[in-house]
Amino acid sequence: MITIKDIADKCGVSIATVSRAFSSNSIISPHTKEKILKTAEELGYRPNLMARGLKNSKTQTVGIIIPSIDNYFYLDVLKHLELNLHKFSYRLLVNFIQHNGYNEADALCAMEDSQTDALIFSPRNTQNSEIVNRLKNKTNLLQLFTAPYKDISSVVTNDVYGVKKATEYLISNGYSRILYVGGDERVKGYFNALSNAGIIADNDLVLLNWENSPEIIKEKIISKKADAVIGIARQAETVWHALSRLYKDNHLNIPFIAYDDVNWVKMLDISAVAHPLDKIAEYIVEYIISRNKNNSEKLYKKIVKPFLIKRSSTNFSN
């Protein structure tokens, strides 16, 4: 197995110099560092970041708990986050919450033993406060997208604003019987937009169930004479199947906006509420770097606004 001694011998430098070359704050000349890194690559050497980190209490590892393995949106989040962390030599350790009983508490406990420099999670509530308080003394915690813990740093998106903008766009184009399909976390934006436009909300046009079937959605559109639909997160895919059946069986083409601009939404040219994932990833990395450099206990709070992308599913000229 190739060691840093092998690299040092080949480059004609000390072992300490080789070690510094793999450090993000190394004090060696750029020429020497480049030579060492190139030699390491040629020899097939990979630094053991975890072992080195345990000596200086830094592992260059960031943990993240993903709340749903079935939501394509989180895969996009991971891609952007990993790319940004890689620039600073951080590795990403991922833990998915499953639907087989492996819950947030299990994921938090698993990450507790991982010696990460920071832990990112998206808690729905504060039911695991005992574990979270224990983790606060061991690593830097950051809430992502949701922030029920008021004393923990966070990067969140204003999803109520996102739904409001989508609803306003449909209303501005003459639609008022808008069906909302998804959870209750964002529905306030829908009601706000209707109220501001002087439209009396029909609660029968709101499906706050994450498990609606395409048939249920299709029948709701027909029975309530919905003239447009907003589908939230993973329910957006179910809405699309419902609309496809509706077009096939009843020749009705209903305007549709998906919440989360994931790959299948882009491929089908569906209008969507999107998140600035690069900016979110930048904020996360900024938090991690600043905490590991300064050990500051000051709360880090960032709120990011989603934006609407208009595509053919809301082409009102047809």
pTM of the model: 0.78
Please list the pLDDT of the chain residue by residue as tens digits (318 residues).
Answer: 677 778 889 899 887 788 777 765 456 788 888 888 888 888 887 665 444 544 445 678 999 999 877 778 998 999 999 998 888 888 899 988 876 666 888 889 888 877 788 999 999 899 999 999 999 888 999 999 999 999 999 999 999 999 999 999 999 999 999 999 998 989 999 999 999 999 999 999 999 988 899 999 999 999 999 999 999 998 999 999 999 999 998 888 999 999 999 999 999 999 999 999 999 999 999 999 888 777 667 899 999 999 999 999 998 765
pLDDT at 99: 63
Q: In the structure encoding, which two tokens stand for residue 210, read together?
A: 């994450």
pLDDT score of 46:
65
Q: Give the pLDDT confidence score for residue 50 in this predicted structure.
A: 45
* pLDDT for the residue 315: 85
